[in-house]
């Protein structure tokens, strides 16, 4: 038909596909929504980004997402270990370890390029460090807990309720008398 493109075999050589231009970044005129995010996630991911800078976009995303997964799996490991240190039922560490398989949305959420995986590891550290403070108090535990809370706040503002809850757990009995 006259409107359809010609099929191969016309005697001409097939053109090879053009390579995409190198990726560049130029700041735009509009506001940067990422600038409002706390900076720690970007600082943690910067070495992986720099290491993979010359790679293809797919390979670079794979590397960055792999680092994100490692952070999330580290958080899961910390929570499993914390559960083993508490007087929790024996099945609880197994339930925590099975969490990603019971709720498969965990995999894409923790593998995306976002600060949720870093929040998860600091929340796990807070959980690990809070339990001993309910039974005995050592200044080292308080300092590590403060560090984990501070790093969590540098990662995501939703860590504010976590900090408030920990403050209530630790100071509540004193304040409420």
* 42 or 37, which is more confident: 42
pLDDT of the residue at 61:
92
* 37 or 118, which is more confident: 118
DSSP string, the chain: -TTSPPPS-SSPPPPPPPPPPPP-----SS--GGGGS-SHHHHHHHHHHHHTTTS-HHHHHHHHHHHHHHHHHHHHHHHHHHHHHTT--TTHHHHHHHHHHHSTTHHHHHHSSSTHHHHHHHHHHHHHHHHHHTT---HHHHHHHHHHHHHHHTT-GGGHHHHHHHHHHHHHHHHH-
Q: Per-residue pLDDT for 16 more than 70?
A: no
pLDDT of the residue at 46:
93
- Is-above-0.85 flag for pTM? no
Question: What confidence tier does 134 reach under pLDDT thresholds 50, 70, 90?
Answer: low
């Amino acid at each position: 038909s006259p409107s359809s493109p010609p099929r191969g075999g016309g005697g001409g050589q097939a053109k090879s596909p053009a390579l995409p231009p190198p990726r560049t970044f130029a700041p735009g005129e509009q506001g940067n929504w990422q600038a409002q995010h706390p900076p720690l996630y970007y600082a943690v991911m910067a070495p992986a980004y720099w290491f993979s800078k010359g790679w293809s976009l797919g390979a670079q995303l794979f590397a960055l997402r792999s680092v994100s997964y490692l952070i999330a799996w580290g958080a899961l490991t910390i929570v499993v270990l914390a559960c083993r240190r508490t007087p929790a039922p024996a099945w609880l560490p197994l339930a925590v370890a099975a969490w990603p398989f019971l709720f498969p949305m965990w995999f894409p959420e923790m593998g995306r390029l976002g600060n949720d995986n870093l929040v998860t590891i600091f929340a796990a550290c807070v959980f690990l460090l809070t339990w001993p403070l309910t039974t005995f108090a050592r200044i080292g535990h308080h300092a590590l807990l403060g560090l984990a809370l501070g790093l969590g706040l540098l990662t995501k503002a939703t860590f504010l309720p976590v900090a408030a809850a920990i403050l209530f757990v630790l100071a509540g009995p004193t304040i409420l008398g």
